[in-house]
């Protein structure tokens, strides 16, 4: 997924990052941190940028693979783990979430409670670290490293010299630890937690790692490259909230105003910014400004945000973009081939079948736009088909809206069908819980849209037409190709036909077969299938009593292009191609009539398919 990999044509995003790198490499402001001796060894010219999208595309330039220590950028990740270990309520009782307007190393405890104001200052970070579970120091460190590893998509290790240096000089943080113990924010010996805090700050990362870690936060906690969950999605908003309001220390308000992305910096020169749902950015450049933020890091984030319009609060309306396509059963019919009479019914009554193909992320606002449209048309809808094939995600509030629609419309006698919901287990679970006993009857999950449409059409047709009197096998006079034939002509045809019976699921025709016959369906149904690339197969058409199939090959004499299978027990009358050819010589008038009927039949199907095609335009 590394964008450096495509030599044929470079990405404009990569070009752009290279341009930024050239532009800001010349910036010589800021000072490398010296508060611990090891950090002071950093080369001030190191400069790497990495941008990773939630689709898992990584763009990186400069020293993006130069290791350095994560430092304070560890704080939001460890805070997230504390939330996972203890839940929001307990964590909030130990650490607040109000910005302080103070510097990174301020102690800022709430008067009275002693609760650190937020988890981004050292006091709050140490309190968060103290909440990490584990039976002893090494076990806790291992859990922390595993967590960082899930975010980065590779095993991360400590930079031992930095850790030693931190540990030797961290008197202020030890003081903070004892102060937290004094207020019972820490309830046992603070020193192990302070040491774990030094260890978390000493994790060695690269700008590439941080880019992936930021993108994981942007992707609701799922590493977009490995696909692995690094933190439960429900806690991501809390991590990003404290980054937004407190991540850049006393610069938070201006940062949100001008750059508009949750962010976090570290004294080794790292900086991450997160645009939820879209991308993560990491910059590494050791020289820091007076507030302890990487100078080039801030310049790069500011430039990217402005040039690429990434401000979190600058969002265009999602509009009705959740509705990919909307049509009625009068506009687009299923792949079941209908008789002329059935077609007329669907043309007249199919408008009561309403199909919505949904797409994208269904959350409250996008689901609302669908539900609003459904409710506005409720009086007209008899069958509602909601197709989730192109839906990427679905949250509980969207489920609730669809449940309410199901509940309301069912109450009005409308039937709802949900198709392609396999990848959205939440929908079924939600419906099961809410519907209880009614689940089995009310929640109709159908695998394919076409089947849901056919089923709805059948109900509409059943309601409109009298039940078929004759359920026995059709005779030649009832076949569509001989509709206008005289009894004498029918007799001729009858003599050329041979009756055959096929059990259900027989492959009557296989793709690639040499054509030898034309089939007339006396009873039962057959379907035409083509294999799908994704495995499985797709139904192209279903034929029923009275219809002809396998007739194409009689014309072009090419090998069969698709497989035709018996949907039920099937009775067919079969005409061999020899008889078909001979008919032109012995009975040219009948042959002409037959061919004209075939043309009519094909042109009718062509019109139907053309009408379907227009729906997609």
Give, as ranges, the residues between 212 and 231 that touch a second copy (CB under 8 A): 218-220, 224
Tokens for 467? Answer: 């039940």
The answer to whether residue 292 forms part of the interface with a second copy (CB under 8 A) is no
User: 317 catalytic, yes or no?
Assistant: no
User: 32 catalytic, yes or no?
Assistant: no
Contacting residues for 603 by C-beta, under 8 A, at least 6 apart: none
DSSP E strand boundaries for 189-334:
204-205, 263-265, 270-275, 279-284, 323-328
Min CB(198)–a second copy separation in Å: 27
The answer to whether residue 433 forms part of the interface with a second copy (CB under 8 A) is no
Which residue of 171, 313, 413, 467 would you call a contact of a second copy, by CB under 8 A? Answer: 313
* Three-class DSSP labels, 570-593: EEEEEEEHHHHHHHHHHCHHHHHH
Q: Quick check: 275 and 310 in contact, CB under 8 A?
A: yes
Name the residue with tokens 């067919």: 572
Which residue of 232, 291, 344, 412 would you call a contact of a second copy, by CB under 8 A? Answer: 412
Tokens for 593? Answer: 């009539």
User: 491 catalytic, yes or no?
Assistant: no
Is 431 strand, coil or helix? helix
Which residue of 89, 136, 314, 495 would you call a contact of a second copy, by CB under 8 A? Answer: 314
Site string for a second copy, 455-494 (x = CB under 8 A): ----------------------------------------
Pairing of strands 383-394, 353-362: parallel
Q: How far apart are CA 263 and CA 272, in angstroms?
A: 5
The answer to whether residue 379 forms part of the interface with a second copy (CB under 8 A) is yes
Contacting residues for 92 by C-beta, under 8 A, at least 6 apart: none
66 or 100, CB closer to a second copy?
100
Min CB(79)–a second copy separation in Å: 11
Tokens for 302? Answer: 């500011």
Q: Quick check: 314 and 278 in contact, CB under 8 A?
A: no
Which residue of 2, 10, 470, 484 would you call a contact of a second copy, by CB under 8 A? Answer: 10
Which is catalytic among the residues 59, 79, 235, 249? 249
Q: Tell me how long the chain is.
A: 617
Q: How far apart are CA 414 and CA 561, in angstroms?
A: 39
Please give the helix or strand (H or E) that residue 502 lies within, else none: strand 498-502
Q: Quick check: 356 and 370 in contact, CB under 8 A?
A: yes
Q: Quick check: 310 and 261 in contact, CB under 8 A?
A: yes
User: 75 catalytic, yes or no?
Assistant: yes
Q: Burial code of 378-410, b = ≥16 C-beta within 10 A, e = fewer? A: eeebbbbbbbbeebeebeeebbebbbebbeebb
Site string for a second copy, 546-585 (x = CB under 8 A): ------x--xx----x----------------------x-
Stretch that binds a second copy, among 48-56, 179-187, 199-207, 570-578 (CB under 8 A): 48-56
* Three-class DSSP labels, 324-385: EEEEECCCCCCCECCCHHHHHHHHHHHHHEEEEEEEEEECHHHHHHHHHHHHHCHHHCCEEE
31 or 537, CB closer to a second copy?
537
Q: Number of residues interacting with a second copy: please give it, by CB under 8 A.
A: 118
Stretch that binds a second copy, among 121-129, 163-171, 396-404, 477-485 (CB under 8 A): 396-404
The answer to whether residue 290 forms part of the interface with a second copy (CB under 8 A) is no
Which residue of 138, 253, 472, 531 would you call a contact of a second copy, by CB under 8 A? Answer: 253
99 or 190, CB closer to a second copy?
99
User: 128 catalytic, yes or no?
Assistant: no
Which is catalytic among the residues 59, 79, 163, 197? 197
Min CB(154)–a second copy separation in Å: 21
N-terminal to C-terminal alpha carbon distance within the chain: 34
Which has the closest alpha carbon to 536: 454, 612, 422?
Answer: 422
Give, as ranges, the residues between 51 and 80 that touch a second copy (CB under 8 A): 53-55, 57
Q: How far apart are CA 460 and CA 351, in angstroms?
A: 10
Pairing of strands 537-543, 526-531: antiparallel
Which residue of 242, 271, 358, 496 would you call a contact of a second copy, by CB under 8 A? Answer: 242
Which residue of 310, 452, 497, 508 would you call a contact of a second copy, by CB under 8 A? Answer: 310
Which is catalytic among the residues 3, 59, 61, 72? 72
Q: How far apart are CA 331 and CA 609, in angstroms?
A: 11
Which is catalytic among the residues 64, 74, 75, 527? 75
Which residue of 226, 241, 410, 501 would you call a contact of a second copy, by CB under 8 A? Answer: 241
The answer to whether residue 8 forms part of the interface with a second copy (CB under 8 A) is yes
45 or 234, CB closer to a second copy?
234
Give, as ranges, the residues between 506 and 545 that touch a second copy (CB under 8 A): 538, 540
The answer to whether residue 330 forms part of the interface with a second copy (CB under 8 A) is no
Which is catalytic among the residues 95, 212, 267, 460? 267
Min CB(444)–a second copy separation in Å: 19
Which residue of 11, 93, 160, 470 would you call a contact of a second copy, by CB under 8 A? Answer: 11
Site string for a second copy, 594-613 (x = CB under 8 A): -xx-xxx-xxxxxx-xx-xx
Order of strands across the sheet that contains 563-566 = 507-509, 563-566, 526-531, 537-543
Give, as ranges, the residues between 345 and 374 that touch a second copy (CB under 8 A): 359-361, 363-365, 368-369, 371-372
Give, as ranges, the residues between 71 and 130 that touch a second copy (CB under 8 A): 96-101, 118
Count CB-CB contacts under 10 A for residue 113: 13
The answer to whether residue 328 forms part of the interface with a second copy (CB under 8 A) is no
Give, as ranges, the residues between 258 and 277 that touch a second copy (CB under 8 A): 260, 262, 275-277
Q: Burial code of 284-303, b = ≥16 C-beta within 10 A, e = fewer? A: bbbbbeeebbbbbbbbbbeb
Report the DSSP beta bridge partners of residue 203. Answer: 158
Stretch that binds a second copy, among 170-178, 347-355, 400-408, 426-434 (CB under 8 A): 400-408
Q: Quick check: 191 and 177 in contact, CB under 8 A?
A: yes
Give the residue numbers marked as catalytic.
Answer: 72, 75, 197, 249, 267
């Amino acid at each position: 997924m590394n964008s450096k990999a495509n030599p044929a044509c470079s990405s404009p995003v990569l070009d752009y990052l290279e341009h930024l790198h050239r532009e800001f490499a010349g910036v010589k402001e800021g000072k490398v941190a010296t508060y611990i001796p090891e950090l002071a060894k950093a080369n001030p010219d190191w400069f790497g940028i990495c941008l990773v999208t939630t689709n898992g595309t990584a763009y990186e330039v400069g020293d993006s693979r130069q290791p350095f220590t994560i430092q304070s950028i560890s704080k939001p990740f460890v805070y997230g783990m504390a939330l996972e270990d203890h839940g929001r309520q307990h964590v909030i009782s130990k650490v607040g979430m109000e910005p302080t307007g103070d510097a990174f190393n301020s102690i800022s405890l709430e008067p009275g409670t002693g609760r650190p104001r937020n988890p981004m200052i050292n006091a709050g970070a140490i309190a968060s670290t103290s909440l990490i579970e584990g039976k002893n120091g090494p076990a806790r460190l291992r859990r922390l490293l595993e967590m960082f590893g899930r975010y980065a998509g590779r095993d991360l290790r400590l930079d031992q010299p930095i850790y030693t240096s931190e540990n030797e000089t961290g008197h202020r943080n030890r003081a903070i630890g004892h102060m937290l113990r004094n207020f019972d924010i820490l309830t046992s010996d603070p020193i192990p937690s302070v040491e774990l805090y030094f260890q978390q700050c000493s994790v060695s990362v690269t700008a590439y790692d941080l880019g992936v870690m930021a993108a994981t936060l942007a992707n609701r906690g799922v590493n977009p490259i490995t696909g692995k969950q690094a933190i439960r999605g429900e806690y991501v908003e809390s991590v990003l909230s404290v980054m937004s309001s407190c991540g850049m220390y006393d610069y938070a308000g201006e940062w949100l105003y001008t750059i508009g992305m949750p962010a976090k910096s570290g004294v080794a020169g790292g900086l991450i910014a997160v645009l939820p749902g879209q991308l993560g950015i990491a910059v590494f450049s050791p020289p820091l400004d007076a507030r302890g933020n990487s100078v080039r890091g801030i310049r790069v984030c500011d430039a990217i945000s402005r040039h690429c319009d990434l401000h979190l609060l600058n969002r265009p309306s999602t509009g009705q973009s959740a509705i990919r396509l909307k049509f009625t059963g009068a506009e687009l019919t299923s792949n079941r081939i209908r008789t002329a009479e059935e077609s007329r019914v669907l043309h007249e009554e199919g408008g009561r079948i309403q199909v919505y193909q949904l797409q994208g992320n269904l959350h409250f606002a996008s689901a609302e736009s669908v539900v609003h449209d459904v409710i506005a048309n409720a009086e007209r809808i008899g069958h509602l088909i909601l197709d989730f094939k192109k839906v990427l995600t679905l949250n509980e509030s969207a489920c609730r809206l669809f449940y309410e629609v199901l509940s309301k419309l069912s109450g009005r006698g409308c039937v709802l069908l949900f198709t392609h919901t396999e990848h959205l287990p939440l929908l079924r679970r939600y419906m099961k819980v809410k519907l209880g006993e009614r689940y089995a009857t009310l929640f109709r999950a159908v695998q394919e849209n076409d089947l849901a449409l056919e089923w709805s059409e059948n109900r509409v047709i059943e309601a409109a037409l009298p039940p078929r009197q004759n359920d026995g096998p059709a005779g030649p006079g009832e076949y569509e190709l001989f509709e206008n034939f005289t009894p004498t002509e029918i007799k001729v045809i009858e003599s050329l036909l041979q009756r055959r019976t096929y059990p259900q699921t027989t492959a009557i025709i296989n793709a690639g077969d040499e054509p030898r016959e034309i089939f007339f369906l006396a009873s039962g149904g057959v379907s035409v299938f083509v294999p799908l690339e994704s495995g499985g197969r797709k139904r192209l058409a279903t034929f029923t009593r009275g219809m002809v199939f396998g007739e194409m090959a009689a014309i072009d004499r090419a090998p069969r292009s698709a497989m035709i299978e018996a949907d039920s027990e099937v009775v067919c009358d079969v005409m061999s191609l020899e008889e078909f050819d001979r008919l032109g010589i012995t009975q040219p008038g009948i042959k002409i009539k037959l061919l004209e009927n075939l043309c009519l039949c094909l042109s009718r199907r062509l019109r139907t398919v053309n009408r379907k095609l227009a729906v997609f335009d």
